[in-house]
């Protein structure tokens, strides 16, 4: 028995320019199951999207780093300092640009996609950094390896 459905936001409910597809909104509103939003985007973006779609405040954001169980119960699964330290280390070898959404993030860092991601992954491996890079097509996220 299916008890809920999980749906990505960027590139699924939206197009490549992040414009919300009205047909996706209508489809979600017609579902008889709870919809759990799952995204790499920030907690506040995901919560706002949940409000606008009329879904319960149960969602996963920041590439699994933040879990919202309800309006008043969120779980933060990583320390952003780990990602900030990795960013400082990676900046020694790569020209990285952080998106301004970082001030709204609890667990990871979002970078512009204008650097050698494969090279940065090799650097992370060689220096045994406790992070991984997640390329969402919209951004490259530095995420703690502690977050599954």
pTM metric for this prediction: 0.87
Residues near 61 by Cβ (< 8 Å), separated by ≥ 6? 37, 38, 39, 40, 41, 42, 43, 45, 46, 68
Q: Do 84 and 120 reside in the same domain of the chain?
A: yes
pLDDT at 137: 87
Q: Do 102 and 69 reside in the same domain of the chain?
A: no
**Residues identified as active-site:** 8
Distance between first and last Cα of the chain: 25
Domains in the chain, number: 2
Q: Do 103 and 125 reside in the same domain of the chain?
A: yes
CATH number, domain containing residue 57: 3.40.50.1000
The pLDDT profile of the chain, 148 residues, written as one tens digit per residue, is 999 999 999 889 998 888 999 999 999 999 999 999 999 999 999 999 999 999 999 999 999 999 999 999 999 999 999 999 999 999 999 999 999 888 899 999 999 999 999 999 999 999 999 999 999 888 999 999 998 7
Backbone angles phi, psi at 61, to 5 degrees: -130, 175
- Domain containing 132: what range? 80-144
Closest CA to 66 of 99, 101, 37: 37
pLDDT at 18: 86
Q: Do 71 and 128 reside in the same domain of the chain?
A: no
pLDDT at 37: 97
pLDDT at 95: 96
Q: Is the distance from CB of 111 to CB of 83 less than 8 angstroms? A: no
In degrees to the nearest 10, what's the CA dihedral of 82, 88, 93, 96? 100
* Among 76, 99, 116, residue at a domain's last position: 76
Q: Do 100 and 66 reside in the same domain of the chain?
A: no
> CA-to-CA distance for 39 and 44, rounded, in angstroms?
12
């Amino acid at each position: 028995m299916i008890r809920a459905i999980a749906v990505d936001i960027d590139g699924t409910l939206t197009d490549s320019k992040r414009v919300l597809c009205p047909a996706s909104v209508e489809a979600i509103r017609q579902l008889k199951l709870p919809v759990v939003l799952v995204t790499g985007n920030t907690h506040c973006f995901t919560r706002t999207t949940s409000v606008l779609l009329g879904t319960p405040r149960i969602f996963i954001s920041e590439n699994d780093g933040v879990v919202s169980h309800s309006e008043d119960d969120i779980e933060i699964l990583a320390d952003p300092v780990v990602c900030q330290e990795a960013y400082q280390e990676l900046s020694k070898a790569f020209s990285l640009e952080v998106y301004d959404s970082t001030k709204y993030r609890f667990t990871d860092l979002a970078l512009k996609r204008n650097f050698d991601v494969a090279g940065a992954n090799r650097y992370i491996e060689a220096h045994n950094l406790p992070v991984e890079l997640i390329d969402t097509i919209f951004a490259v996220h530095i995420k703690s390896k502690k977050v599954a």
